[in-house]
């Protein structure tokens, strides 16, 4: 999430701006914020049932990797990322204007937002775009699913409240084996593009690093949730506006289909998806909303095979299932035993 993930994206800041003193561990490329208030207490019931919005969010993020692939057929990776961020920022800007949200204040806040924008948006989005020049979108989507595993390993080191347990360590090991299965380790990684795969894995690593940074620097600042998220995307857009002309120049032509793919990737997969996710967390809570993470690689794989005609060996779906099982295991907790009166 695509982390586009969210992708775990946009992905890390959502967790922090809505966090409580003891927020949950990162769970995906699109980390899920804790529930702030019941939907009934916030306002009237949404017109669409949450299950419909959940399915729509899964499809949007699942198809993000296909849209990246189509976009890079007509534009340079940095150009795709810039367009994605621009369209996503426009959607959030409209939402901020409708709710009369103000921009954050304070130089320190904006400096932290600049770092968060780099780690959670500019860097991973660009890395995925470059990765899909040489690897299929199905593999990129599965690499994105490793983000919870990276997050679990990093949080045990960087966050004192995240203690290693047997279950979490087992989940990390299971996810590692799943990754080796996807990459075909038993045959010496034959036919694997090392550079593209490494970029996709590095992109998935950016999300938990950014999540931990934001959690340490921007949590509890008293700023509006939507204002922080929109500002972060705006800063990331400015970062790409400076980088893109230096490394990619300006497009000499504007192919229609890739342009539509980039517009959909930004407006739907980056802008609208954040607003939908925000509403889901408020209505059904983070535990249910975070389950969207486990549908992303499934949809990304199906879209890549059905629409783009990408090849699929037996090890790809099997390894992806093992990765997802390991990721789910790292995020699970044992139920507390009832105390004896």
- Model confidence band, residue 36 (pLDDT cutoffs 50, 70, 90): very low
Q: Is the pLDDT of residue 340 over 60?
A: no
CA nearest neighbour of 320 among 291, 294, 339, 292: 294
Distance CA 103, CA 106 (A): 10
What is the chain's percent helix, strand, coil content, to nearest 5? 70, 0, 30
- In tens, the pLDDT along 208-256 reads 899 889 888 887 777 777 888 899 999 999 999 999 999 999 998 999 9
How high is the pLDDT of residue 183?
76
Q: What is the pLDDT of residue 112?
A: 95
Q: Which pair of structure tokens corresponds to residue 40? A: 């009934």
pTM here is: 0.79
Task: List the structure tokens of 266.
Answer: 């930004």
In whole angstroms, what is the distance from residue 42 CA to residue 162 CA?
31
Spatial neighbors of 258 by CB under 8 A, at least 6 apart, are 70, 71, 72, 73, 74, 75, 80
What's the pLDDT score for residue 335?
Answer: 56
Q: Is the pLDDT of residue 31 over 50?
A: no
What average pLDDT does range 310-331 have in this prediction? 80
According to the model, what pLDDT value does residue 263 have? 97
CA 324 centroid distance within chain = 15
Stated length of the chain = 341
Residue whose tokens read 């890390």: 12
Looking at the chain, the whole-number percentage of residues with pLDDT higher than 70 is: 78
Residue 288: is its pLDDT beyond 80?
no
Record the tokens describing residue 182, joined without a space.
């996807």
| Joined tokens for residue 281 | 């967390």
Please work out, in degrees rounded to the nearest 5, the angle formed at the alpha carbon of residue 109 by the alpha carbons of 106 and 114: 125
CA distance 195 to 198: 5
SS3 state at 236 = helix
pLDDT, tens only, 135-148? 999 999 888 888 87
- Distance spanning both ends of the chain, measured CA to CA: 47
> In terms of pLDDT, which residue wins out, 95 or 312?
95
Phi first, then psi, for residue 264 (nearest 5°) are -65, -40
Spatial distance between the Cα atoms of 59 and 56, rounded to a whole number of angstroms: 5
Question: How many other C-beta atoms can be found within 10 angstroms of the C-beta atom of residue 90?
Answer: 18
Residue 25 pLDDT level (bands cut at 50, 70, 90): very low
């Amino acid at each position: 999430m695509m982390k586009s993930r969210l992708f775990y994206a946009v992905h890390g800041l959502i967790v922090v701006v809505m966090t409580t003193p003891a927020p949950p561990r990162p769970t995906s490329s699109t980390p899920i914020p804790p529930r702030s208030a019941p939907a009934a207490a916030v306002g009237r019931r949404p017109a669409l049932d949450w299950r419909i919005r959940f399915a729509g969010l899964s499809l949007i993020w699942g198809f993000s990797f296909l849209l990246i692939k189509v976009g890079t057929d007509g534009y340079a990776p940095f150009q795709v990322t810039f367009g994605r961020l621009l369209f996503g920022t426009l959607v959030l800007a409209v939402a901020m204007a409708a709710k009369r949200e103000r921009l954050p204040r304070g130089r320190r806040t904006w400096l932290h937002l600049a770092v968060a924008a780099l780690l959670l948006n500019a860097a991973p989005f660009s890395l995925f775009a470059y990765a899909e020049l040489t690897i299929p979108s199905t593999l990129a989507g599965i690499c994105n699913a490793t983000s919870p595993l990276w997050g679990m390993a990093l949080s045990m080191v960087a966050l004192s409240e995240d203690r290693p347990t047997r279950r979490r360590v087992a989940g990390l090991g299971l996810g590692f084996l799943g990754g080796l299965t996807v990459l075909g380790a038993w045959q010496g990684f034959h036919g694997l593009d090392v550079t593209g795969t490494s970029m996709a894995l590095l992109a998935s690593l950016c999300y938990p690093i950014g999540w931990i940074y934001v959690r340490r620097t921007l949590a509890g600042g008293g700023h509006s949730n939507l204002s922080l998220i929109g500002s972060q995307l705006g800063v990331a857009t400015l970062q790409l506006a400076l980088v893109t002309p230096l490394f990619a120049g300006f497009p000499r032509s504007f192919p229609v289909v890739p342009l539509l793919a980039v517009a959909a990737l930004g407006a739907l997969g980056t802008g609208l998806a954040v607003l939908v996710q925000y509403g889901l967390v408020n209505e059904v809570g983070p535990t249910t909303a975070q389950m969207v993470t486990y549908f992303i690689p499934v949809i990304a794989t199906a879209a890549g095979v059905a629409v783009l005609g990408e090849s699929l060996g037996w090890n790809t779906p099997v390894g992806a299932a093992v990765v997802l099982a390991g990721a789910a295991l790292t995020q699970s907790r044992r139920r507390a035993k009832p105390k004896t009166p």
